[in-house]
Amino acid sequence: MRRFEGKSVLVTGASRGLGRGIAEAFGREGARVGIGYRTRKHDAEQTLGEITSSGGTGMLLELDVRDPTSVEAAVAGFARDAELNVLVNNAALVRDQVFAMMSAEQWEQVIAANLTGTYNCCRAVVPRMMARRRGAIVNVASVAGLRASPGQANYAASKGGILALTGTLAAELAPLGIRVNAVVPGLLTTGMGQRLDRRIAEGRLTAIPLGRFGAADEVARAVLFLASDDASYVVGQSLVVDGGLSL
| CA–CA distance, 216 with 86 (Å, rounded to integer) | 19
What pLDDT digit, counting tens, does each position of 25-48 carry?
A: 999 999 999 999 999 999 999 999
CB-based contacts of 141, cutoff 8 Å, min separation 6: 159, 160, 162, 163, 166, 182, 183, 184, 185, 238
- The H or E element containing residue 11 is strand 8-11
pLDDT at 10 over 70: yes
Q: Return the pLDDT at 115.
A: 98
What residues act catalytically?
A: 155
What pLDDT digit, counting tens, does each position of 88-125 carry?
A: 999 999 999 999 999 999 999 999 999 999 999 999 99
Q: Return the pLDDT at 135.
A: 98
pLDDT at 70 over 80: yes
| CA–CA distance, 19 with 146 (Å, rounded to integer) | 21
| CA–CA distance, 50 with 57 (Å, rounded to integer) | 10
Instruction: Order the strands of the 178-185 sheet from edge to edge.
Output: 57-62, 32-37, 8-11, 86-89, 135-140, 178-185, 238-241
Higher local confidence (pLDDT), 147 or 216: 216
Domains, the chain, in order of start with CATH, read 8-187+215-239 (3.40.50.720)
Q: Return the pLDDT at 1.
A: 76
- The DSSP result for 27-65, as a single string, is HHTT-EEEEEESS-HHHHHHHHHHHHHTT-EEEEEE--T
| CA–CA distance, 118 with 168 (Å, rounded to integer) | 13
Q: Return the pLDDT at 43.
A: 95
What pLDDT digit, counting tens, does each position of 176-220 carry?
A: 999 999 999 999 998 665 555 556 666 778 889 999 999 999 999
Q: Return the pLDDT at 136.
A: 98
Q: Return the pLDDT at 161.
A: 98
Question: What mean pLDDT, rounded, does the chain reach?
Answer: 94
- The H or E element containing residue 227 is helix 216-227
pLDDT at 82 over 80: yes
Q: Return the pLDDT at 204.
A: 77
pLDDT at 230 over 90: yes
| Predicted model pTM | 0.94
Higher local confidence (pLDDT), 1 or 158: 158
User: Mean pLDDT over residues 136-140, rounded?
Assistant: 98
Residue 83: Cβ-neighbour burial (10 angstroms; 0-12, 13-18, 19+):
middle
Q: Return the pLDDT at 118.
A: 98
